[in-house]
Structure 1
Amino acid sequence: MKISVRNLEPTKVRLTITVDPDELNPYLDQARKEIGKQVTIPGFRKGHVPGPIIDQRVGFASVAGEAVNAGVPELYSKALEEKQLHAMAQPQIDVKDIPSSAKDDTKLKFTAEVEIRPKFDLPDIEGMEIEVPKPAVTDEDVDKRLDNLRQRFGTLVSVDRPATKGDYANIDLDAVIDGESVDSQQGVSYELGSNTMLDGLDEALDGLSAGEETTFEGTLEAGEHQGEKAQIKVKVNSVKAEELPDLDDEFAKEASEFETLKELREDVRKQCQVDAEGRQATDARDAFIAKLQDGLDIPVPKGIKQSMVTDQLKNSGKDPDKASKDEKAEAEQTVEKELRDQMTLDALAEKLGITVSQADVTNFLASIAQQYGMDPSAFINGIVRNGQLGSAVQEVGRSKGMLAGMRAVTFKDPDGQEVDLSRFLGEDEPQAQEEQDESVQAASAAAEVADQLSQDQE
């Protein structure tokens, strides 16, 4: 097999693959066998029809078509492996030449254009030290958490005064375009300052009392007239303020298992400390990836980036065609970071020789299924049916590579003290295998499904 590679972009190549007859012949023979099982030819049992007879009765073109459909994906994968290219998307295949008969010397030739991971060299992580901030907890952190707890026990009471930020207003809305009402809602409860509905609504409601109304211009964000400007008429039916319980021993008894506010505050501080340590672990992860990328120029594949930006905007409730310049720029920045992080972790996993077993993938998918309260077997079945198994394998490889890499470096706080992240990073692979096996056994049903599906894929 002859392979030539042309760089179209820093992250896109065109492979031209020419296949020798001896490499194509096994696919032609297999195609003849499969066709022979499906056709009825007098004098021969199904599945036992000689190849030349298949070529004669069915036509070599049909045989070659079946062979190409089966062979091109495998030959393309072999070409990627030989040239050490890492595809990041499905290729665009264009078959150029196919032999017209069994005796035709024409070689199968096809091209494949595909976006790839760019080549870059990661730094050596041996002896690497990374600084991360301390997991500090302030009195403000504790007070904020206590305030959140108070809000869970708060009540809304009617007030005879103009509405202000933090109040809850019961309102009627009517959107008018060219003098015609196009949408209306009655009895909507809205928290002033939350900015969860129409732009300009918070400003319009601020200072209004029950029974008062006003009109402002806004852009409709849903419905038939989404994206259009309208005159929004808003009427306030009532204004309510949130009344919070006093922060005292009585509240501590009602809201927790503690008898005094002091005990509750101490427990809340411990919870804040746990959260702070979790944030420190997240900071360590981000700092680790940033350290790997330091000084590297990692271009991102344009096509994949554009597709992800579109999805990002849609997932945030925005129309990609109508999104503002700032909204698109923010989405692009998010997507570029995500792509660079993914490519960095993929390269790290390869550098460290990380392998992903079926147990790894099954355990990973089973844990996700449990988070969403789904049956592991059904969930894994759906993943494979939708063609997402490869993405799951890749995600597991990234996670294992990142954890292995973080265990290999030293994290220190600003005072130079070593930071112990073992609670978040787990143990090295050999030590953690027993726990992993137990976890996989707990998801045995999912494992059986994954195993069968894996065999079917092969």
Structure 2
Amino acid sequence: MKISVRNLEPTKVRLTVTVDPDELDPYLDQARKEIGKQVNIPGFRKGHVPGPIVDQRIGFSTVAGEAINNGVPELYSKALENKKLHAMAQPQIDVKEVPQSASDSTKLKFTAEVEIRPKFDLPDVQGMEIEVARPEVTDEDVNKRLDNLRQRFGTLVSVDRPAKKGDYANIDLDAEIDGESVDSQQGVSYELGSNTMLDGLDEALDGLSAGEETTFEGTLEAGDHQGEKAQIKVKVNSVKAEELPDLDDDFAKEASEFDTLDELKEDVRKQCQADVEGRQATDARDAFIAKLQEGLDMPVPKGVAQSMVEDQLRNTGKDPKDASDEEKKTAEESVEKELRDQMTLDALAEKMAVTVSQVDVTNFLASIAQQYGMDPSRFINSIIQNGQLGSAVQEVGRSKGMLAGMRAVTFKDPAGEVIDLSRFLGEEEPQEEESESVQAASAAAAVADQLSDQDESDGQEESDQA
């Protein structure tokens, strides 16, 4: 197989692949077998039709078409591996030349344009030192957590005064456009200052007492008139304030397993300490990635970035065409950072010779399923059916590469003391002999087989029950 590469952009190439006949022959033979299983040819049983007969009766062009459909993706992957290129998107493949008969000496030739990960060299992580701030737990942190706990045990009491920020108002709303009511709600409970409903509602309610009403202009957030301006009449039915329990021993007994407030405070401080240690681990991760990227020229694939920007805008409820320049800029900056971090971690996983096993992939997907309250087997099956298993394997590789890299680094605080992150980084895993790509492919196939076997088993159980 002859492969030539032309750089179209810093992150885009065109591969031209010319396939020798002996490399295409296995795909042609397989195509003939598959076609022979599907057609009826007098004198031959299905699946036992000789290849030349299939060519003669069905047509070599049909055989070649089937062989190309099955063979080109595999040949393209081999070409990427041969040239050590890392694709970031699906390729645009164009078949240029195809043999017209079994005796035709014309070689299969196709091109593939694809966005790739740019080439860059990561620094050595062995012996690397990175400074990370050591956050301390303050009395304010403890008090804030205690206040949150008090709010869980708070009660709402009616007050005879104008509403203010933090109060809860029971309100009626009526929206009018051109003097006609288009939407109304009664008895809505709303916390002033939360800004969770209509723009301008907080300002309109501030200072109103029970029985008073006012009108303001606002933009409707839902319904048939979403996005339209309306005159909104709001009436206050009642005003309630939150009454919090006293912070004393009685509260400690009611809100926890402790008998005294001092014991509760000590426990809350321990929780705050765990939180700041978690934040420190996150800061260490971010500092580690930033250190790896120092001085690197790492352009992002334009097409991939544009697609991700549009997806991010849609996820916020925005049509990409209607997004403001500021919204687009924010999305672009977020996507570029995400892509650079992904490319950095992919390269690190390769540098650290990370291996991905079936257990790694299964546990990763099962943990996601658990977070969303889904059945793990069904979730993994849907991932496979949607063609997302490769992405899951890649995510596992990134995570394992990052942890392996961080274990090789010494993190210190500004005073020069070593920070122990072992609780977050786990133990070093034994090295495997297989390469990452082989392990990843094996993991994906194993998980797919596992789910396929389970589906067959489920189907058999249903059949037996029937």
Global fold match (TM > 0.5): yes
Return closer, same or farther for 1:184/1:302 CA change in 2, 3 Å cut-off: farther
User: Is the counterpart of residue 90 in structure 1 residue 104 in structure 2?
Assistant: no
Decide whether the 8 Å contact of 1:135 with 1:273 is kept in 2: no
Return closer, same or farther for 1:186/1:327 CA change in 2, 3 Å cut-off: farther
Name the residue aligned to 1:23.
23
Name the residue aligned to 1:204.
204
Letter in 2 for 1:363: N
Deviates most, 218-227 or 402-411: 218-227
Question: For residues 453 and 6 of structure 2, what CA distance do their matches in structure 1 show?
Answer: 35
Question: For residues 10 and 296 of structure 2, what CA distance do their matches in structure 1 show?
Answer: 14
Return closer, same or farther for 1:93/1:174 CA change in 2, 3 Å cut-off: farther
List per-residue Cα deviations over 1:192-238 (Å, max 9, x = no partner): 11111222221222122222222222222223332232322222222
Name the residue aligned to 1:81.
81
Decide whether the 8 Å contact of 1:177 with 1:229 is kept in 2: yes
Name the residue aligned to 2:213.
213
Structure 1: which 5+ runs fail to align? 432-445
Name the residue aligned to 2:399.
399
Letter in 1 for 2:315: N
Question: For residues 94 and 453 of structure 1, what CA distance do their matches in structure 2 show?
Answer: 34
Task: Map 1:314-353 onto structure 2 (within 5 A).
Answer: 314-353=314-353
Task: Map 1:266-281 onto structure 2 (within 5 A).
Answer: 266-281=266-281
Question: For residues 297 and 239 of structure 2, what CA distance do their matches in structure 1 show?
Answer: 56
Letter in 2 for 1:327: E
Q: Secondary structure at the match of 2:307?
A: helix
User: Is the counterpart of residue 32 in structure 1 residue 35 in structure 2?
Assistant: no
Shift of 1:453: 5.0
Percent pairwise identity: 86
Question: For residues 42 and 338 of structure 2, what CA distance do their matches in structure 1 show?
Answer: 60
Name the TM-score, length of structure 2 as normaliser.
Answer: 0.90
Letter in 2 for 1:143: N
Letter in 2 for 1:23: E
Deviates most, 329-338 or 255-264: 329-338
Name the residue aligned to 2:142.
142
Question: For residues 391 and 167 of structure 1, what CA distance do their matches in structure 2 show?
Answer: 47
Name the residue aligned to 1:189.
189
Name the residue aligned to 1:248.
248
Decide whether the 8 Å contact of 2:209 with 2:236 is kept in 1: yes
Name the residue aligned to 2:441.
none
Shift of 1:394: 0.3
Return closer, same or farther for 1:328/1:212 CA change in 2, 3 Å cut-off: farther
Question: For residues 306 and 118 of structure 2, what CA distance do their matches in structure 1 show?
Answer: 17
Return closer, same or farther for 1:336/1:370 CA change in 2, 3 Å cut-off: same
Return closer, same or farther for 1:219/1:300 CA change in 2, 3 Å cut-off: farther
Shift of 1:246: 0.9
Decide whether the 8 Å contact of 1:362 with 1:447 is kept in 2: no
Return closer, same or farther for 1:48/1:384 CA change in 2, 3 Å cut-off: same
Name the residue aligned to 1:413.
413
Q: Secondary structure at the match of 1:125?
A: coil
Return closer, same or farther for 1:144/1:96 CA change in 2, 3 Å cut-off: same
Letter in 1 for 2:130: I
Question: For residues 355 and 176 of structure 1, what CA distance do their matches in structure 2 show?
Answer: 62
Question: For residues 13 and 222 of structure 1, what CA distance do their matches in structure 2 show?
Answer: 46
Name the residue aligned to 2:66.
66
Decide whether the 8 Å contact of 1:359 with 1:447 is kept in 2: no
Shift of 1:411: 0.2
Shift of 1:448: 7.9
Name the residue aligned to 2:384.
384
Return closer, same or farther for 1:156/1:418 CA change in 2, 3 Å cut-off: same
Q: Secondary structure at the match of 1:429?
A: coil
Decide whether the 8 Å contact of 2:361 with 2:447 is kept in 1: no
C-alpha root-mean-square deviation of aligned residues, in Å? 2.2
Question: For residues 118 and 51 of structure 2, what CA distance do their matches in structure 1 show?
Answer: 44
Question: For residues 220 and 8 of structure 1, what CA distance do their matches in structure 2 show?
Answer: 48
Shift of 1:288: 0.5
List per-residue Cα deviations over 1:19-39 (Å, max 9, x = no partner): 222221211111011101111
Name the residue aligned to 2:298.
298
List per-residue Cα deviations over 1:323-377 (Å, max 9, x = no partner): 3322222222222111111111000001111111112111222232333343332
Question: For residues 240 and 410 of structure 1, what CA distance do their matches in structure 2 show?
Answer: 54
Decide whether the 8 Å contact of 1:14 with 1:111 is kept in 2: yes
User: Is the counterpart of residue 7 in structure 1 residue 25 in structure 2?
Assistant: no
List per-residue Cα deviations over 1:297-340 (Å, max 9, x = no partner): 22212222222222222333334333332222222222211111
Q: Secondary structure at the match of 2:163?
A: coil
Shift of 1:454: 8.4
Question: For residues 75 and 40 of structure 1, what CA distance do their matches in structure 2 show?
Answer: 31
Decide whether the 8 Å contact of 2:377 with 2:451 is kept in 1: no
List per-residue Cα deviations over 1:390-435 (Å, max 9, x = no partner): 111000000000000000000001110000000110001039xxxx
Question: For residues 454 and 345 of structure 1, what CA distance do their matches in structure 2 show?
Answer: 31
Structure 2: which 5+ runs fail to align? 432-443, 455-466
Name the residue aligned to 1:161.
161
Q: Secondary structure at the match of 1:271?
A: helix
Name the residue aligned to 1:177.
177
Structure 1 residue runs of 4 or more that deviate by more than 6 Å after TM superposition: none
Question: For residues 212 and 318 of structure 2, what CA distance do their matches in structure 1 show?
Answer: 32
Letter in 1 for 2:276: A
Return closer, same or farther for 1:299/1:227 CA change in 2, 3 Å cut-off: farther
Shift of 1:155: 0.8
Name the residue aligned to 1:452.
450
Shift of 1:67: 0.4
Decide whether the 8 Å contact of 1:167 with 1:241 is kept in 2: yes
Question: For residues 196 and 318 of structure 2, what CA distance do their matches in structure 1 show?
Answer: 14
Name the residue aligned to 1:125.
125
Name the residue aligned to 2:307.
307
Question: For residues 359 and 451 of structure 1, what CA distance do their matches in structure 2 show?
Answer: 13
Decide whether the 8 Å contact of 1:362 with 1:450 is kept in 2: no
Question: For residues 183 and 16 of structure 2, what CA distance do their matches in structure 1 show?
Answer: 57
Decide whether the 8 Å contact of 1:167 with 1:240 is kept in 2: yes
Question: For residues 323 and 193 of structure 2, what CA distance do their matches in structure 1 show?
Answer: 23
